[in-house]
Amino acid sequence: MTQLILFNVTNGLIIGAFYVLMAIGLSLILNLSNVINFAHGGFLVVGGYLAYTLEPYLGFWGALLASPFLTAILGLAIERVLIRPLYGRDPLYSLLLTFGLAFMFEDGTRFIWGAQGKPFTVPDFMAQSLSTEFFFLTGYRLFMVAMVAVTVTLLFLLLRFTRAGIRIRAGTLDLDTVSALGVNVRGLRSLNFGVGIFLAGLSGVLAGGQLGLEPTMGAGLLMPSFIAIIVGGVGSLIGTLVGGLLIGVASGLTAVLLPSASEAVIYVLMAVVLLIRPRGLFGEEGMLT
């Protein structure tokens, strides 16, 4: 039993790491632009399928690199044309717009690549278990965790030490002041949106290697990311990080004790957090409330 719990905690962290990658992109956009990006799952799917299409030409590694960039470019174009006019209007509108985009992405993917699921093959050496004892630690899953760790660390360094990063963080806290200091807020939001969508695209490639590709895969991954943000506290990227890992472990542990509740448990976790600490674990007082 102890071994089972140890296994499931480790396993939960691996799953949680994936939620983190997706949720952090979502969180970046929410914090600076006040947009709940419902189409985030759609971008994830596009990222995955682009990698699938590119793999025959560029190989796995090439696709892994190229696809998130292409997804980010698509994201920037959409931000420029559709979302930018909505800044400053009631958040209702950007929410509905991305909600509609999510439909269009799912159906567009089905139209272009077909309803039939596609396998996305990863290099053979990663597709194996590393040890017979810890059989659930495959090369690919560890690679995924490493990718998440590197990406998130890089992101935090960028936010801390580059000028744009510092401005993004400042804008999250008080956009008016940042704007008054003469910072180009539109450009900042575009950049930030692009980074968020890049992360969605990367999540898509990684998820594709783990699960294969289906047009509907984005919607299912969106909700855990939402919960990660709410549990961690809106406005805090560290919170999102912790929130993502936490719900991964929580659903892993529940799978041992009460398997059929393993998805519902993340909602229970959220409800408990909201009751005890309404602003989330790392949320700032007054932030967006």
Interface with another protein in residues 1-20 (CB under 8 A) = 3-4, 7-8, 11-12, 14-15
Phi, psi angles (nearest 5°) of residue 129: -75, 145
- 256 counts as binding another protein under rule CB under 8 A: yes
Which residue matches tokens 């000028």?
163
Question: Measured from the CB of residue 193, what is the shortest distance to another protein in angstroms?
Answer: 15
Using CB under 8 A, pick the residue from 123, 271, 272, 277 that binds another protein.
271
- 276 counts as binding another protein under rule CB under 8 A: no
Question: Measured from the CB of residue 58, what is the shortest distance to another protein in angstroms?
Answer: 19
DSSP conformational letter for 134 = T
x/- contact string, 78-97, with another protein (CB under 8 A)? ----x--xx--xxxxxxxxx
Q: For 215-234, give the DSSP string.
A: TTHHHHHHHHHHHHHHHH-T
- 116 counts as binding another protein under rule CB under 8 A: yes
Tokens found for residue 169 = 């963080």
Question: Measured from the CB of residue 66, what is the shortest distance to another protein in angstroms?
Answer: 21
Of residues 208-227, which lie at the interface with another protein (CB under 8 A)? 210-212, 214-217, 219-221, 223, 226-227
- 203 counts as binding another protein under rule CB under 8 A: no
CB of 15 within 8 A of CB of 248?
Answer: yes
Residue 120 CB partners (closer than 8 Å, separation 6+)? 48, 51, 52, 55, 205, 208, 209, 212, 213
Burial pattern 75-101, b for ≥16 Cβ within 10 A else e, equals bbebbeeebbebbeeeeeebbebbeeb
Scanning 46-54, 106-114, 163-171, 239-247 for contacts with another protein by CB under 8 A, the matching segment is: 106-114
- 234 counts as binding another protein under rule CB under 8 A: yes
* CA 79 remoteness from chain centre: 17
- 118 counts as binding another protein under rule CB under 8 A: yes
- 121 counts as binding another protein under rule CB under 8 A: yes
Scanning 31-39, 146-154, 169-177, 189-197 for contacts with another protein by CB under 8 A, the matching segment is: 31-39
Residue 245 CB partners (closer than 8 Å, separation 6+)? 12, 13, 16, 17, 19, 20
Of residues 124-153, which lie at the interface with another protein (CB under 8 A)? 127-129, 132, 135-136, 138, 140-141
Q: For 40-75, give the DSSP string.
A: HHHHHHHHHHHHHHHHHHHHHHHHHHHHHHHHHHHH
- 29 counts as binding another protein under rule CB under 8 A: no
- 180 counts as binding another protein under rule CB under 8 A: no
Q: Which is nearer to another protein, 69 or 93 (CB)?
A: 93
